[in-house]
Structure formats: C-alpha cells, structure tokens
C-alpha cells in the first residue's frame, strides 16, 4: 500500500481560474528519441477571480521533463519557481505576461496513451480529459479557453503528413532540411481539444457544401494499407454534417475537417477541434472484414464526434463534473441521427437493452454515481455508462417533456446563449426551460441523484363508471454516499389496449387520447383514465420514456397480447423480453435448487406468431427472438448464480428451437439474400433475422442445420455472415467449432481488426477449458499487451464467459486480477476498466463472492495508479 492514498476533488470546491490564457503558441520538434515542446502562453489575471496575488500554478505530469522556464523572455533561475506534486508554481507574477517553457518528452515510452505517444509508425496525441499536462505545463482545465497556434517540425521522409487543429497557415523548410508546418485554430478552446498527428499517411479527400454554400474540405487519413476502408466513414460524415444542419441548425465552422485512424487508442474516438482522432476499429469498414454491427457503430461514432463540434467544442464544459453536458447531449444526438438513418424502433431497442444491462448494473454497484458526479479521484474513471447513456436518457426525457418544437427552441437558445463558453448542466436545463416555459426544477434531480428508480404500478378497473386507475409508486434505492432519495419527475408514456389488442382512447385530466404522458412527481400518485367500457391492458413506459425499472404484474396472456398487438413497437419487444425473463427466472431457480429444468413456454406461442408474420420488420423479429443475455440476467439476479443462468438460458434456447424447428429453417431460407453486400437497414435486417434463425435451428442438432453452418462459413461474401456462422458454431459447440476457429484465424491473420473479433470470440467461449484457452491467447502471436483493442478483446471477452471467469475455484478471478496488476502501471485507464466485472462481487453467490473479494483485496495491496485505486477501494468500501 502507498504511504498516502490519492484524494478526491469535489464539485462544491469549484472556483474560476485565477489566470486566463488568451493565446497558446506551441512548437513541437518531433523525433523518435526525444521530442522538444516549446510553449508560449499569453496570460493575464482573470478579472472574474477578483483582485488577487494568487501564485501561478500550472499542471504537469511526472513524465514531462522541464528544460527551462521564462517570464516575458527572462529565464527564471531555479529559485524563482518550484515543482511540487507535478505542479509548476511561480509565486510572483505580473498581471499580464508571456510565460514560456520548454519540455522534453519521450513519446516512444508513453504506454499510457495520454499526451503525445506513438502508434505504429506515427505520432499522435490524446488530451481529454487531463492528457495535455503530459505534453507541457498548462492550466489544464476546460474553462481555460485559448486560441492555439501550433508549429510542427519533423523529418520529411518519415513524417510527410503533419496535422493539428484549425487551418494550415504556413509550410517551409528548416536550416537542417526538416519540414516546418504551422496550424492556426481561430476558435478558442480548452487544452483537452488540442491534437497533433505526424506520419506517413494516405488520405482520402472529399468536399461538403454547407447550408450557407461554403465548401468544406474533408480528409480521412490512415496508414497506407487501410485507405481502401474509409469510404463508408466518409459518407457517414457527410450524412452527419447534413443532419446537424437540418435537425439542429448547426453548420460546420472551419474550412477543413480531418479524421485520422490510429491503432492504439484507449477509447473509441476523440472530437479534437477540426481533427478527430479515431480508434481504427471505429472508423475502418469493408464488407469482407466488417460486420453489420460494426458498420452501424462506425456511422454512429463518426456522427457522435462530428456532433461534438457544437455540443462540446463551441459550447464546452466548465469543469469535468459537467462531462454529461457534452456527452449525454451528444449521445442523444447520435442516437436520434442513427434512428433517422435506419429504424427508430430497432435503434431504441438496442440502446435500451444496452442501458438496462450495463448502466443499470453500474447504478446498482459500488461505482454508482450521479450523471453529474459530486466528486471523483480520477476523472478518467467517469467516462461511464451513467454519464453517457443515462445522461442521454435525461436529455431524451427533456425532449419528451417539451415536445419536438420547444426542444429545438431550447437547443437553439443553448447554443446561441453559450457559444464560446464553458458552461454547466444547469445552464443547459435553464436554456431548455427558458425557451419552453416548462418548469424543470424538480426534473433537475436526475442530474444529482444516483441509482435506478423502481416504479411499481398497480391498477383497478371500476366497471360502474368506466374508469381505470393506475397507482404508481417510485422508490430509488440507496447508493454510495446517498442513503436517502427524493422523488424524481418521471415521464411515463402509457397507452391502453382492449382484449383484442386494439388501441383504446381514454381521458386523463380532460385530454382524450390513445397515448398519454403521465407525470409521476410524488412518491405515490394515482392516475385516472375515464371513458372505458371494459378492463384494458396497459402498455406502460412506451418507448422506454424514463430510465427506470418498471414493476407491474402482467399475466402471460397480456404480455403475449402486447407482444403481438401494441402500437408501440418498443413495448412489443419489451413484452417479449418480460415473458422470456419470467420463464428464465423460473428455470434459474430450478437450476439453483438442483431440480430438473422444465417450463411450459408461452414464449413459443408468441415466437410462432412472429415467425409467420411477413408484415413485420425482420430486424425487430430478430431482436424479439434474442433471449435476454447472460449479462442482463445477471443484472436482474440477486444473488447471481452464473452456472444456473448459463444452464437456464441454454435450456430455453434448445427448447424453443425444438418446438419451432421448421419455422426457424423456413425463416432462415426466406431471409437468405443474395447479391452484393450493402450496409442498408433493409439488408442488415434480413441478415440479422436469418442468422438469429440459424442460431436456433442449429440447437436442434439437425444435420442439415449443422451442414448449413459450415456452408455459410465457407461461402459467405461478407463478414457478417461468416462471423455469424463462426459464432453459431462456437456457441452451439458444433463438432467443427475448433476447426473453423483455426481456419478463420488462418484466413484473416493479416487483418488486425478481424483478428480482434476472433480473439474476443475465442476468449468468451463457454467451456471447461475456457481459462486455459485465454491463457493461451495471451501467448499467441496475435496478442499484444500494448494494444488496448487486443486487451479488451481477450480480457473483456473473458469477463463475459460464465464458465471461464466464474470458475468455482476462483482461478478466473485470480487470472484477471493478475492482468490488472500487470497493466496498472503501463496503462492505468485500461487497467481500471478491466476491474468492472470484479466490482460485482457483492451480488455473487456466497462461495464465489468471497473469492472475488479476495482478489480485489490483493489488488489493493499493490502500489496502484489513481485510476485502479479509486475503483478497487470504492468496490471494497
């Protein structure tokens, strides 16, 4: 254990910066061995801070070597400044001055992938959240916005492409024959949006004409061998630019927009001003190497980063507690964009299913925190599903409360009022409220209160006067640091159906409609629907109108009715999921009690109807057929019995497969499309249903099905079909599974992104030798501990395997803990993220829980990075 543990910082301690930086002039002299950075900061005291003689305190990192410091070109002798805990402190300064410093970096030794580092043959940067301080001493906080001019000097032959934010304004040769390029970004920005790239890169060019008829040059850069895989991203970028003009009135503001793909990246992508940097897994796409899911991900992430140009860059965050200001809003924007490009209901189901599996689990665990956290030890740990996904749900609820037009008025006001500023979540809500006149005072509690509310609904029909009453209760469980909770403003969209599934109109508060948004604002409330002649079936929480856990005791017959007839597509899916969860929970219980599994599946009836209805969107059918995942069942369970969950799910899948074998075979054949691959909603829908049907059909152990898996694997003309066949073979323990895995690797060993998918599938297998397999993968030539994508594939995949990770003797936990300890120093962000499965220890069955806890304690006894320390210590608290 360290002598002193890292301490938390608090939102309530926020103070405006004592100094401002009007202009930032940087010079990078790039070289493999050492890079010299010269920074000239035009600074002055911040009038908003009040009259003061506060010292100048600049942020820096241990990996930055300070060469020299000057004030207005007077070199400071060492006694006139000091460095303490990474900070550079100068006690006496003028009110206005130019601060200069020179630092020395070793990017090739930067394994944290923050600041300036090397990826393959290039130099690149990552500065969000606090990476800029690993480049030079600075006021590294988002409310210090500055105009950047960046000079890059490098060897022409190895680094012909030299990029930074803004526009290229100068290019020349130095005396020793190197290239010198100057970039200028006219928009003031915080340091976290700074970027630099240098390399021998290929480029794809395009042009976008904005709504005001300005031509913007678009460029995507990759290493030469990948440039044939950027066409899809380029088209997605143009669609995003157009959409933001139409949906939000936001036009792009510079003359050039660049994207660079890098192989080594901690996250998905980064919205640096005018120069987005992407994890290559989130940018590159080709039919042969990329699955449909990944195509959609590329489109969504290209859009997300582009949308940040307004929601994040033009209007940025005052401090990192406000992270959801940009992330929640931008996720909401990218979700809406994808819905507009494809199917709204499919997109909603996918997003909600992810939220309910992963964000709900986070909100119920030791790292639970409000969307606007009140404190943190390491900000990198707060790029969470809560800040991103639940944050997007908050914005979506505002959209529901205001309606489309007023929401747009609110966003216009927000952008106009705060352009060029660093603001807070309160400012966002204030703009929405001011533009709409809708009171959001109570609603704002969603930002400060952690935990997933439970909404319990009971009902009563009064035949005499034709009224139907819904009684709703809300209750949010305690979370760390928040023992008691206040009632939230929860919008609950509700419709009513008759016994045949027809929509009923009813009157609530004098409004007659088939669809009502109820405002649950108290702990308990009654809503009355008038004008009914018989007891209706309620369709509750349509479109998942609030991120809550809904409890209502549906009869299976009513779930079947909703599943086949509700006018809300989302709730049709939701009813099927509920039915499946109920049956699976029965089976899980039988398994825990050591009984023989058996269930009289109602779901089979529902599936049968679905499979023979040609009018339905095949993508929706595929989603309904997808049984709740092991991860989602684990989120619902308390305690979690991993083996029982696995067994129950396998049993139900086989059961359904046997009952509906002929339907699955027919649907498989009906949706097998031929022709050239296209990533359109329609084709994706056919492939998803076809492959879902095959995954069932193969469970019948039918010989034809088994042969078809092999045929599809061999003859597929696209990665979606080939990889689906492979996954189906692996998950169904096909006798040829091992052979196919080997063949797949052989075929794709030179395509790193495909190899990553192979690593993930291999690592997540459910079989007795799962742990040994993963240990083998870590020694495989395709593995590389330095590459976050590979680490995520293997160790992230392993964390999903019930048989490997949750081995009875705890050896799976021990193995993961060993890897976390290994990565803790090398790449703290990645190490910290790998801790997630271990944070669930309190919910596990007792025998496993103690073993998992012991591994957390073992990690805590090491000398830890702030990142890992925060997650592990909070998990044990």
Which residues are known catalytic residues?
305
Give the residue among 646, 626, 632, 757 at the shortest CA–CA distance from 692: 626
Binding flag, residue 267, ligand PHE (CB under 6 A): yes
Residue 327 is a binding residue for ligand PHE (CB under 6 A): yes
| Binding-residue total with ligand PHE (CB under 6 A) | 11
Give first-to-last CA distance, the chain, whole Å: 16
Alpha-carbon distance values, 388 to 323, 327, 487, 839 (Å): 9, 5, 23, 19
Lay out the sheet containing 215-223: strands in order across: 201-209, 215-223, 256-262, 275-279, 269-270
Nearer to ligand PHE, 424 or 659 (CB): 424
Identified binder of ligand PHE from the candidate list 25, 59, 140, 271, rule CB under 6 A? 271
- Please select the residue that binds ligand PHE; options are 45, 118, 133, 304, rule is CB under 6 A: 304
**What string marks each residue from 124 to 163 as x (binds ligand PHE by CB under 6 A) or -?**
--x-x-----------------------------------
Q: Is 302 in the site for ligand PHE (CB under 6 A)?
A: no
Inter-residue contact 570 to 544 (CB < 8 Å): yes
Q: Are 267 and 383 in contact (CB under 8 A)?
A: yes
Provide the residue count of the chain: 877
Q: Which residue number, 136 or 330, has a Cβ lying nearer to Zn ion?
A: 330
CB of 573 to Zn ion, least distance (A): 27
Between 49 and 248, CB nearer to ligand PHE: 248
**C-alpha pair distances (Å), 448 with each of 92, 315, 366, 369:** 39, 21, 17, 8
From the list 223, 305, 351, 663, which residue makes contact with ligand PHE (rule: CB under 6 A)?
305
Only segment of 262-270, 353-361, 572-580, 660-668 that touches ligand PHE (CB under 6 A): 262-270
The burial of 469, by beta-carbon neighbours within 10 Å (0-12 exposed, 13-18 middle, 19 or more buried), is given as middle
Of the residues 135, 152, 270, 409, which one makes contact with ligand PHE according to CB under 6 A:
270
Q: Rounded distance, CA 216 to CA 210, Å?
A: 7
Strands 256-262 vs 275-279: parallel, antiparallel or unpaired: parallel
**Which residues are CB-contacts of 581 (< 8 A; sequence separation ≥ 6)?**
628, 633, 636
Q: How far is the CB of 308 from Zn ion (least distance, A)?
A: 6
CB of 387 to ligand PHE, least distance (A): 10
Q: What does 88 bind: Zn ion, ligand PHE, none (CB cut-off 5 to 8 Å by kind)?
A: none
The nearer residue to Zn ion, 330 or 353, going by C-beta atoms, is 330
The C-alpha atoms of residue 862 and residue 808 are separated, in whole angstroms, by: 25
Nearest position to ligand PHE, beta carbon: 267
What are the phi and psi torsion angles at 96 (to 5°)? -145, 130
User: What mask of x and - would describe binding to Zn ion in positions 303 to 342, judged by CB under 5 A?
Assistant: ------------------------x--x------------
128 interface partner picked from Zn ion, ligand PHE, none, CB below 5 to 8 A per type: ligand PHE
The nearest distance, CB 78 to ligand PHE, in angstroms, is 34
**How would you class 340 by CB atoms within 10 Å of its CB: exposed for 0-12, middle for 13-18, buried for 19 or more?**
middle
The footprint of ligand PHE on residues 380-439 (CB under 6 A) is 383
Q: Please give the Cα distance from 752 to 767 (Å, whole number).
A: 26
The site string for ligand PHE over 471-510 (x = CB under 6 A, - otherwise) reads ----------------------------------------
Q: Which residues face 84 on adjacent strands? A: 87
d(CA 729, CA 732): 5
Window of 266-274, 576-584, 816-824, 841-849 that interacts with ligand PHE by CB under 6 A: 266-274
248 binds ligand PHE (CB under 6 A): no
Nearer to ligand PHE, 796 or 812 (CB): 796
Q: Which does 450 bind (CB under 5 to 8 A by kind): Zn ion, ligand PHE, none?
A: none
Distance CA 417, CA 359 (A): 32
Q: What is the dihedral of CA 786, 787, 792, 793, to 10 degrees?
A: -120
Reference 443, options 495, 488, 399; nearest CA is 488
Residues of this chain that bind ligand PHE (CB under 6 A) = 126, 128, 267, 269-271, 304-305, 308, 327, 383
Residues that bind Zn ion (CB under 5 A): 327, 330
């Amino acid at each position: 254990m360290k002598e002193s543990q890292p301490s938390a910082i608090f939102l309530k301690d926020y103070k405006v910066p004592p100094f401002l930086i009007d202009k930032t002039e940087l010079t990078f002299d790039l070289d493999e061995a050492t890079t010299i950075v010269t920074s000239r900061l035009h600074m002055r005291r911040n009038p908003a801070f009040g009259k003061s003689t506060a010292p100048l305190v600049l942020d820096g990192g241990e990996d930055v070597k300070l060469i020299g410091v000057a004030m207005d070109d007077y070199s400071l002798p060492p006694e006139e400044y000091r460095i303490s805990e990474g900070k550079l402190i100068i006690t006496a300064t003028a009110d206005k001055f130019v601060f200069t410093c020179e630092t020395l970096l070793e990017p090739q030794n930067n394994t944290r992938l923050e600041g300036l580092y090397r990826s393959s043959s290039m130099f690149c940067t990552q500065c969000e959240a606090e990476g800029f301080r690993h480049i030079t001493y600075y006021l590294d906080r988002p409310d210090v916005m500055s105009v950047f001019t960046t000079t890059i000097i490098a060897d022409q032959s190895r680094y012909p492409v030299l990029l930074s934010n803004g526009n290229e304004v100068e290019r020349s040769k130095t005396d020793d024959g190197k290239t010198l390029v100057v970039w200028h970004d006219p928009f003031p920005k915080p340091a976290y949006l700074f970027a630099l790239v240098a390399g021998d890169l290929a480029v794809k060019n395009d042009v976008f004409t904005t709504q005001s008829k300005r031509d913007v040059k678009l460029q995507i850069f990759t290493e030469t061998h990948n440039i044939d895989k950027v066409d899809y991203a380029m088209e997605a970028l143009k669609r995003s630019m157009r959409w933001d003009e139409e949906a939000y009135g936001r036009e792009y503001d510079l003359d050039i927009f660049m994207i660079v793909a890098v192989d080594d990246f901690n996250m998905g992508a980064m919205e640096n001003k005018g120069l987005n940097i992407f994890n290559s897994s989130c940018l590159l796409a080709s039919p042969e190497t990329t699955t449909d899911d990944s195509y959609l991900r590329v489109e969504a992430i290209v859009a997300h980063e582009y949308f940040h140009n307004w929601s994040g860059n033009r209007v940025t965050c005052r401090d990192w507690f406000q992270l959801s200001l940009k992330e929640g809003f931008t996720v909401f924007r990218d979700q809406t964009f994808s819905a507009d490009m494809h199917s709204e209901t499919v997109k909603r189901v996918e997003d909600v299913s992810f939220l309910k599996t992963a964000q709900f689990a986070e909100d119920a665990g030791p790292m639970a925190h409000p969307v606007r956290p009140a404190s943190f030890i390491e900000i990198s740990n707060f790029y969470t599903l809560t800040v991103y996904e639940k944050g997007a749900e908050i914005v979506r609820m505002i959209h529901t409360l205001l309606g489309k037009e007023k929401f747009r008025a609110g966003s216009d006001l927000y952008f106009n009022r705060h352009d060029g500023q660093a603001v807070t979540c309160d400012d966002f809500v204030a703009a929405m409220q001011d533009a709409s006149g809708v009171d959001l005072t109570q609603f704002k509690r969603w930002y400060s209160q952690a935990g997933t509310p439970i909404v319990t609904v009971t009902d009563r029909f009064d035949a005499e006067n034709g009224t139907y009453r819904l009684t709703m209760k809300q209750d949010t469980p305690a979370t760390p640091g928040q023992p008691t909770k206040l009632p939230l403003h929860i919008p609950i969209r509700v419709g009513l159906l008759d016994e045949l599934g027809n929509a009923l109109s009813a009157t609530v508060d004098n409004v007659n409609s088939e669809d009502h948004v109820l405002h649950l604002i108290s702990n308990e409330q009654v809503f009355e629907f008038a004008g009914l002649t018989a007891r209706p079936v309620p369709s509750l929480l349509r479109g998942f109108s609030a991120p809550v856990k809904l409890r209502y005791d549906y009869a299976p017959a009513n779930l079947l009715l909703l599943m086949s007839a509700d006018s809300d597509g989302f709730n049709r899916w939701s009813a099927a999921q509920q039915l499946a969860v109920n049956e699976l929970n029965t089976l899980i219980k039988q398994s825990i009690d050591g009984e023989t599994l058996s269930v009289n599946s109602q779901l089979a009836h529902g599936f049968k109807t679905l499979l023979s209805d040609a009018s339905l969107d095949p993508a929706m059918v595929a989603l309904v057929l997808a049984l709740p995942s092991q991860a989602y069942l684990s989120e619902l369970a308390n305690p979690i019995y991993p083996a029982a969950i696995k067994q129950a799910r396998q049993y139900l899948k086989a059961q359904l497969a046997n009952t509906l074998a002929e339907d699955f075979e027919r649907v498989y054949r009906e949706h097998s499309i031929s022709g050239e691959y296209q990533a359109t909603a329609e084709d994706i829908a056919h492939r998803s249903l076809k492959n879902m049907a095959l995954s069932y059909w193969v469970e019948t152990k039918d010989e034809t099905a088994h042969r078809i898996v092999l045929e599809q694997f061999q003859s597929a003309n696209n990665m979606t079909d080939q990889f689906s066949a492979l996954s189906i073979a692996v998950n169904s323990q096909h006798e040829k599974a091992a052979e196919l895995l080997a063949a797949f690797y052989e075929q794709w060993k030179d395509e790193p992104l495909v190899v990553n998918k192979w690593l993930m599938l291999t690592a997540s297998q459910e079989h007795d030798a799962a742990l040994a397999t993963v240990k083998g993968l870590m020694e495989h030539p395709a593995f590389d501990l330095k590459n976050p994508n590979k680490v995520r594939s293997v160790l992230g995949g392993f964390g999903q395997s019930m048989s490997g990770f949750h081995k009875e003797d705890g050896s799976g936990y021990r193995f993961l803990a060993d890897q976390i300890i290994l990565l803790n120093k090398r790449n703290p962000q990645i190490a910290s993220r790998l801790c997630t499965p271990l944070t669930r220890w309190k919910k596990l069955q007792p025998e496993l829980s103690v073993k998992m806890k012991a591994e957390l304690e073992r990690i805590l006894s090491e000398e830890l990075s702030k990142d890992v320390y925060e997650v592990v210590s909070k998990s044990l608290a």
